[in-house]
Amino acid sequence: MATLIIKSGGRAAFAEWQQHFADCAPGLRTVFWDDAQDADYALVWDPEPGRLAAMPGLRCVFGAGAGVDLIVRDPDWPRHLPLVRMTPTGAAQRMGEYVAWAALHLIRGGRRMALSQNDGRWEDFDHPSAPDVRVGLMGLGVMGTRAAGMLRALGFPVAGWSRAPKGIEGVQEFIGPDALPAFLARTDLLICLLPATQATRHILAAPLFAQLPRGAMLINAARGWHQKLDDVLAALDSGQLSAAVLDVFEPEPLPPDNPAWSHPRLTVTPHVASLPSRAERARFVAEQIAVLEGGGVPGPLYDAVRGY
Ligand code: NAP
Ligand code: GLV
């Protein structure tokens, strides 16, 4: 009987994982991370450096999220093994919902209305409508592609920036670093759904904001890795950015004394853009294990050469 060792969510979450795997993969044995030294499969979000490398029986690692940056930051992670990114159908759906919510929140002045409500102030103001707001999606992968479709359905004109062409219907595509200035120049609402790689470190910073039309809006639902938070706050103060929604930070949780919490043009969410339920994620892992046990290749896999 194959064994899956689980760290995601810590000991508090283990009983729930165990129940879900009992439901969808009764032939699989599950053990908690601290209670075994080796296993066939591992389900982790942020394993302690060296732990995975010390498991000689491991055949595959499952990231508990779509982004596996906290796994591959371990210099000793066993890179000869397949590393599966957590992408059940519901993950991209939830990200699309988050991005759609954040985009509508921004164009309708959601933060401003919340502050007015706190003060008991009846304040109406003009706002643009989706067809007037050109969205620019940085990253057209699993999350970005679904988000593009949902934003288009809301009426936003959508463009995307990626490394290779995608051919997504109705989405204007900008490919590679040379196309970035033109992509930014036509973008009123910039949405980051890039992976955390060396090429994307601190990409959301003053030099990039300066290339957007004045008063552009920003959503970052990818990683805190991508943004210089001080630059975001400065751009909001100067008016170069008119409003932003950030879901991700460095470090997380965002410290209570960080000025981002109280900025009047910034909405902070606590890294909740897309978190499929444990039941959904257990089913996804069980399906992937069945593929592996049948001699197939699971996926989508992290690609160590690309870095995502
Ligand atoms: P993905 O499938 O790997 O897609 C990444 C996209 O970024 C691809 O379109 C890729 O281009 C593009 N890209 C990568 N490097 C680039 C570069 N240097 N220049 C231009 N484009 C580049 O990733 P995903 O699953 O959609 O996830 C996207 C992000 O969301 C990740 O950072 C992930 O960690 C984050 N995430 C956050 C949450 C949350 O709750 N906040 C939940 C899930 C995921 P190609 O297609 O041409 O390769
Ligand atoms: C969440 O951040 C994920 O990567 O799925």
DSSP string for residues in 33-77: GGG-S--SEEEESSPPTTTGGG-TT--EEEESSS--HHHHTSTTS
Low-confidence ranges of the chain (pLDDT < 70): none
| CA–CA separation, 68 and 86 (whole Å) | 9
**Which ligand is nearest the CA of 200, by number?**
1
Q: How far is CA 76 from CA 36, 48, 71, 73, 298, in A?
A: 19, 10, 10, 9, 22
Instruction: Among 68, 162, 180, 269, say which to mutate for ligand 1: greatest number of ligand atoms within 8 Å of CB.
Output: 162
- The confidence score (pLDDT) of residue 84 equals 98
127 backbone dihedrals φ, ψ, rounded to 5°: -150, 155
Q: State pLDDT tens for residues 276-308.
A: 999 999 999 999 999 999 999 999 999 999 999
List residues near ligand 2 (CB under 6 A): 65-67, 86, 274
